[in-house]
Structure 1
Amino acid sequence: MARPRILVVGAGFAGVGCVRRLERRIPPGRADITLVAPFSYQLYLPLLPQVASGVLTPQSVAVSLRRSQKHRTRIIPGGAIGVDTQAKICIVQKVNGEIVHEPYDIIVLTPGSITRTFDIPGLTENARGMKTLAEAAYIRDHVISQLDLADASTDEEERASRLQFVVVGGGYAGTETAACLQRLTHNAVKHYPRLDPSLIKWHLIDIAPKLMPELGDELGKAAMKVLERRGIDVSLGVSIAEAGPEKVTFTDGRTLPCRTLIWTAGVAASPLMATLDTETVRGRVAVTPEMNVPGLDGVFALGDAAAVPDLTKEEGAICPPTAQHAMRQGRKVADNVIASLLHQPMRPYVHKDLGLVVDLGGTDAVSRPLGVNLRGLPAEAVARGYHWSALRTGPAKTRVMTNWLLNAVAGDDFVRTGFLSEKSGTLREFEHTDVYLTPEQIREHTAALHGVH
């Protein structure tokens, strides 16, 4: 019999976890494993705010796929833009623009998520995201350039607008981003004697009534106190009405002179999932507890793009899009893929929550490991210990630990790397949602392929 072809789409926590498990569990020569990955690395997303603030170098949170895999998996550099589940063909656009048709027997969809945006005037043209390694690097360059330009300016209005920074999103990503970057500018201003430190102002806004509600009242209030102590202005129940290149208008009517708007207001499932033409739950494709897609033969979906039932909670609950769930789901799907090949029963995904960690920079953090509330230095130790242990390779662990130690001893660096001389790095330049095919286009691609052969 021909070897089964297993195609994994996406190289995030879920996809890489699945591939590594498949490589360990399937004997060599028994199956062909292919991974579709837009980059040659797996990004450790939770540490991205520390890259933006310069605590960690970009390379330290980008774990090489070729270093961590066993070289049995074929890697296609690109992204899936459509799936014909009848013909069992995945349409892939390589990084050089070439379109290829990849056949499969079993496909595991882990394309992750994109930044969730709304129809707000000027948002995509002027806001910056925090979803990719390049975006974090651009944000760091941009923030430091604002200090440089404000220091050089003789116009008081320009100087004031360059020193106002707005972060939208009161979840983990937004809160950590605001906290880490505020710490960067607070330390950097000591090297700008012409700048008044009191002019540097960070604003964190969110439409929700609470900051990081998942933390609970006690830790949520502790995090709020850290932000207030640092001078970060937190506005809840507020969002953006309009975003301009030099000002931001809030939904409560306030207009703020500002040239830095960072958007972290949630994520949405990859548009790839809409090409499946199947049931979705809040944009995420509906799956069974075993993470296969009902009605589609040989199709599994998990991670941020799938609505995986949370069997530990009330009926109808789905797992949140977190790295903790994605890593575990990847391993469970690998086991279920093998079970399906062997015609054995598959097992549902059931998890035990390990807790939450929020690193606010320096010695400030809040954590709840296994239900125990921590704050300050103990919470920081738990947060960094968790992140460090989750990094998969020795070189990645060494780089991150070295960066942390160097930053603790030598402090921050305030170097611009020159990204902004080429492009501005706004949301519009990073979210390429127009490449995905419609179901009709997918059928046309497949029909053309069959016509050739």
Structure 2
Amino acid sequence: MQRVVIVGAGFAGYHAARKLAKGLKGRAEIVLVNPTDYSLYLPLLPEVAAGVLDPRRIAVSLTDTLPGVRLVLGTVDRVDTAARRVHYRDPEETPGDLAYDRLVLAVGSVNKVLPIPGVAEHSHGFRGIPEAIYLRDKIIRQIELAATAADPAERAARCTFVVVGAGYTGTEVAAAGQLLTRALARRHPALRDQPVRWLLLDLAPRVLPELSPRLAATAERVLRRRGVDVRPGTSVKEATAEGVLLTDGEFVPTRTIVWGAGVRPDPVAAGIGLAHLRGRIETDEFLAVPGYPEIFACGDAAAVPDLTRPGELCAMTGQHAERQGNAVARNVAASLGHGAARPYKHHDLGFVVDLGGWQAAAKPLGVPLSGLPAKVVTRGYHLMAMPANRIRTAVDWALDALLRRQSVQFGLVRSPAVPLDSADPELPARDLAAR
């Protein structure tokens, strides 16, 4: 029996594995290599950080939802294209390898960190459940410590939260986080007259530059109305343990810096030895790697030509990743003699941005929406897009609307586990100076 090895269980890898398992139905062995036993539904991560959703809601079990797929826990560090073998290390650092007849590389993306002094050491990324849990713990901790602080300057610094990057992730984190801190501060009489500040920074001239100006303005208006200090055209020049120095010269005392200024392909994509464009594995319109008909790539780490925009590459979005996963499954099956291959061509179906509470911005099929209608569309889209846990997620949303949000720290993740210099596999401190 021929073996198809899929590396990575993000949107692209997960959907590739699911469609291959259904399409081939035992006519080939499907092996999925991933560091965890779950696929993360990333769009709802800000709601985990804000305490709206239980972390397990967005962790989709691979063994439960992918029958017929063999899961191998591990992180791929090398691909021997001549011998057709994938080399990996399991969570306990034990090396292993797998032979393949077809290989699908869907390794995804990591935080994109700029060489700004202090950022890697003093800020925290937002790409996984550990970061979300830690951010939630830290927000609660800072509010509780501020309530007992005797020094007004310390109290103000602990009640100031800085988010760098006003794209989808940064905007949603600031929106959800502000509602969380507002609820937390109300429970502490000592903070009754203490302002809780959220700063949203970005060098772009407006928030959500990916959106139409009209909807971006709507989102910014919602944030400002809540008290979020939106600073377009401004970013961080230096970060320290005491705060951040902004590019406009202002120093903002803070103990919490969240880095959401974009993503980049996982470094393993460029290190495999295949041709790549700006760190993304080069593919043709069939998602096959030129010169290697047995290797395919999809998702954020694949440089897939965008047939709707000649000369451009597909954007690094979850929408593209999911559909590329389905497309690569069809083309891999065709290469094994089952069905016909088709080029990947996708038209944008719109977007949704959750702004917390009853606010959202959405543009499904080109129709701009805001407020409650956008919120209904946003949550409906997520429930349809999630591979599992839909009922539990809906129940969590209902409970959040009816009950007071819980505010205890988990204490499960230590601070050193999530700074950018340890969360990003290609950003140890010794490499910063070389960038």
Q: Distance in 2 between matches of 1:171 and 1:7?
A: 33
In terms of mean alpha carbon deviation, does 350-359 or 426-435 score higher?
426-435
Report the counterpart of residue 126 of structure 1 in structure 2.
122
Name the SS of the counterpart of 1:188 in structure 2.
helix
The TM-score normalised by the length of structure 1 is 0.92
Q: Deviations over 1:214-270 (max 9, x none)?
A: 210110100010011011111112221111111111122111101100001000101
The TM-score normalised by the length of structure 2 is 0.95
Q: 2:341 aligns with which of 338, 346, 363?
A: 346
Q: Distance in 1 between matches of 2:174 and 2:97?
A: 42
Q: Distance in 2 between matches of 1:300 and 1:98?
A: 26
Q: Distance in 2 between matches of 1:427 and 1:263?
A: 8
The answer (yes or no) to whether the contact 1:240–1:251 under 8 Å persists in 2 is yes
Report the counterpart of residue 407 of structure 1 in structure 2.
400
Q: Which amino acid aligns with 2:199?
A: H
Q: 1:309 aligns with which of 299, 305, 310?
A: 305
Q: Which amino acid aligns with 1:392?
A: P
Name the SS of the counterpart of 1:121 in structure 2.
coil
Q: 1:258 to 1:84 in 2, by over 3 A?
A: same
- 1:359-398 matches, cutoff 5 A: 359-393=354-388, 396-398=389-391
Q: Which amino acid aligns with 1:326?
A: A
Report the counterpart of residue 43 of structure 2 in structure 1.
46
Report the counterpart of residue 24 of structure 1 in structure 2.
22
In terms of mean alpha carbon deviation, does 426-435 or 256-265 score higher?
426-435
What is the total number of aligned residue pairs between the two structures? 428
Identity %: 44
Q: 1:425 aligns with which of 394, 411, 418?
A: 418
Shift of 1:344: 6.6
Report the counterpart of residue 67 of structure 1 in structure 2.
64
The answer (yes or no) to whether the contact 1:355–1:369 under 8 Å persists in 2 is yes
Shift of 1:282: 2.7
Q: Distance in 2 between matches of 1:239 and 1:275?
A: 31
The answer (yes or no) to whether the contact 1:280–1:286 under 8 Å persists in 2 is yes
Give the unaligned 5+ runs of structure 2: 429-435
Q: Distance in 2 between matches of 1:424 and 1:133?
A: 12
Q: 1:24 to 1:421 in 2, by over 3 A?
A: closer
Name the SS of the counterpart of 2:366 in structure 1.
coil
Q: Distance in 1 between matches of 2:415 and 2:264?
A: 28
Q: Distance in 2 between matches of 1:251 and 1:58?
A: 35
Q: 1:389 to 1:197 in 2, by over 3 A?
A: farther
The answer (yes or no) to whether the contact 2:4–2:31 under 8 Å persists in 1 is yes
In terms of mean alpha carbon deviation, does 83-92 or 330-339 score higher?
83-92
Report the counterpart of residue 58 of structure 1 in structure 2.
55
CA RMSD of superposed structures (Å): 1.5
Q: Distance in 2 between matches of 1:424 and 1:81?
A: 21
Q: Is residue 208 of structure 1 aligned with residue 204 of structure 2? A: yes
Shift of 1:301: 0.6
Q: Distance in 2 between matches of 1:359 and 1:387?
A: 10
The answer (yes or no) to whether the contact 1:144–1:414 under 8 Å persists in 2 is yes
The answer (yes or no) to whether the contact 1:189–1:197 under 8 Å persists in 2 is no
Q: Deviations over 1:429-449 (max 9, x none)?
A: 3223389xxxxxxxxxxxxxx
The answer (yes or no) to whether the contact 1:242–1:249 under 8 Å persists in 2 is yes
Report the counterpart of residue 95 of structure 2 in structure 1.
99
Report the counterpart of residue 433 of structure 2 in structure 1.
none
Q: Distance in 1 between matches of 2:427 and 2:162?
A: 28
- 1:7-406 matches, cutoff 5 A: 7-28=5-26, 30-70=27-67, 72-196=68-192, 198-313=194-309, 315-342=310-337, 346-393=341-388, 396-406=389-399
Q: 1:4 to 1:126 in 2, by over 3 A?
A: same
